Structure formats: structure tokens, C-alpha cells
Amino acid sequence: MFKKEGGVDDVETIIGPSVQVEGDFVAAGDVIIEGMVSGTIKTEKNLKVGEGAKIFASVTAANALIAGEVQGNVKIKENLELTSTAKIFGDVKTKILTIVSGATLQGKCQAGEERKSKPEKISDSEKSKNKERVKEILDEIPGRVQ
């Protein structure tokens, strides 16, 4: 996601520990948060929340790596990774979720896009067809005693 730990190669915005941001923070590029943010955070790219960061906001991003504290709902389009120091107090919705042991997650969690499969009814004609097919396959096995 991010090229290197703490690296800035692909990063466009850094909110450092000595800064507080309030309001609707919208960024087009990657975002690293090490300070305090309250309101909402939206980025179309990657988000990294550092260990000392405190976020009192709902978060939306394409990918996220969270090591700090988030109080609010987290909605990630692709990958969400929670490190052992991560604390999330809110609902999480993502496609792929990775949680390292030690992470705190208090809230509803929805990961993956698959839907529940429903039991299908098989008609009598299909049942008899299936039986015939199984029989044919078994007959083709050489040396099988009937």
C-alpha cells in the first residue's frame, strides 16, 4: 500500500503530531495522519493512521493501514489493515480485512462482498438425471466390481 514504513514517496498529505485538523478533510492523494483529526476524512487513495494519531471522524478511503485510534465509522473500498496498536470504536466496512492480534475493534464489522447462498430446490427430473450421470461415471472406472 505504502512503499515503506513512514516513507513519503507516494504521499501527498501529512498531518503531523503537532497539528490538529477540524472539519471535512478531503484529499485526492495519499494521506498520513500522525496528529488529531475531527470531522470527516475522505481520500480516493491510501490512508495511513500512525500509532499516536487520534481520529474523531468517519473515515472513507480506498486502502487503509491503521495503527492509531479511530472513533467513528470506517469505510474502506479495498484493503483495511489493523495493526496490533489499532483501536477502532465504530463500524467497519471493507472488502479485505486484516487484523493483527492485539488490535481493538468495537463495532459492527462487514468484510468481503460475497452474499449468503440460499438453499436451492432440486426437481425430481434433475435428481434422476444426476443419478444416471453418477452411474455412468462409476461404470467408466476400469476394474470396478459391480
Partner 1 sequence: MYLYLYDSFLNNKKFSNTLARIETRLTDLGIGGKICRISPLRNIKELILDEIRNGVKTVVVVGDDKTLNQIVNVVAKYDITVGLIPIGPDNRIAQTLGIPEGQKACDVLAARIIEKIDLGKINETYFLSGIQISSSQITIECENQYRIKPQQENSQIAIYNLRPIFATDLNYFNPKDGFLEVFIQPFTNGFLKIFKKDEERSIIPFKKLVVKSQKSISVITDGQKVLKTPVKIEVVPKKLKLIVGKSRMF
Residue whose C-alpha is closest to residue 66's, from 54, 109, 93: 54
Cell digits of residue 31: 494521506
**36-43 vs 69-71, strand pairing mode:** unpaired
Residue whose C-alpha is closest to residue 81's, from 114, 46, 42: 46
Of 10-18, 73-81, 95-103, 119-127, the segment contacting partner 1 by CB under 8 A is 10-18
Amino acid of residue 2: F
Count of other CB atoms within 10 angstroms of residue 134: 10
Q: Is 34 in the site for partner 1 (CB under 8 A)?
A: yes
Q: Is 12 in the site for partner 1 (CB under 8 A)?
A: yes
Q: Is 9 in the site for partner 1 (CB under 8 A)?
A: yes
Contacting partner 1 (CB under 8 A), which of 1, 4, 5, 39? Answer: 39
The enclosing H or E element of 135 equals helix 124-140
Cell digits of residue 68: 492509531
Shortest gap between Cβ of 1 and partner 1 (angstroms)?
17
Of 16-24, 111-119, 126-134, 136-144, the segment contacting partner 1 by CB under 8 A is 16-24
Of 9-17, 72-80, 92-100, 109-117, the segment contacting partner 1 by CB under 8 A is 9-17
Distance CA 28, CA 8 (A): 16
Q: Is 81 in the site for partner 1 (CB under 8 A)?
A: no
Q: Is 51 in the site for partner 1 (CB under 8 A)?
A: no
Shortest gap between Cβ of 34 and partner 1 (angstroms)?
7
The residue ranges that bind partner 1 (CB under 8 A) are 6, 8-27, 29, 34-36, 39
